[in-house]
Amino acid sequence: MVARPGAQNAGEPGGVGLTGRRGARHAAEVVEVTIPPKPEFLTVARLTAATVAARQSFTYDEIEDLKIAVSEACTALLLAGTAGHPLALRFALDGDTLEVRIVTKGPGISLGAAGLRPKPRDEARLGVYLMQCLVDEVAVGRGEGGKAELRLVKRRQR
């Protein structure tokens, strides 16, 4: 299946859906991607993050940091369990700021002891630690309908 801008293929099994639009209230550009809850689709999330950030002239290093953070965020949600529900990613570009929201049904994750160095074998906490090092903001919570939500914010350096 090929995902096309403006297409909504996410409801199809194994489908990847993309939509691009401008928000009505402000000039943020929004790209949404829905991927199946399988590790082999994390490449789609990483490449979408890179493409969106590149459109706003983020540096190579900033893009690489964002790709790793998005990958770690998706992996953390997959490790926590999605009960087979897809991951919905929303990339919102507003000036020098890129906000990424990743939402799924499932238990979600906790930031736990944020900022503390994780033990080497604690993969979930290592992922959170990496996210906190690579982006400007990391937040977790519950979104609409009680869905698990992870939010990343990356600001372009001038």
Token duo for residue 136: 């400007």
24 pLDDT band, cuts 50/70/90, is very low
Supply 4's token pair: 């096309």
**Alpha-carbon span 34 to 107, nearest angstrom:** 18
**Per-residue pLDDT averaged across 62-73, rounded?**
96
Give domain limits for the chain.
17-155
Between CA 65 and CA 71 the distance in angstroms is 10
Query: Which run of H or of E encompasses 140?
Result: strand 137-142
100 forms beta bridges with 91, 152
Q: What are the C-alpha distances in Å from 99 to residues 3, 43, 143?
A: 22, 19, 15
Q: What angle do CA 1, 73, 137 make, to 5 degrees?
A: 130
Is the pLDDT score of 137 beyond 80?
A: yes
In the predicted model, what is the mean pLDDT of residues 105-131?
64
| pLDDT at res. 27 | 63
Assigned CATH for 17-155: 3.30.565.10
Return the higher-pLDDT residue of 32 and 144.
Answer: 32
- pLDDT over 90 (residue 60): yes
Side-chain-side CA neighbours of 11 within 13 Å: the count stands at 2
pLDDT recorded at residue 124: 62
Any residues with CB less than 8 A from the CB of 12 and at least 6 apart, and which?
1
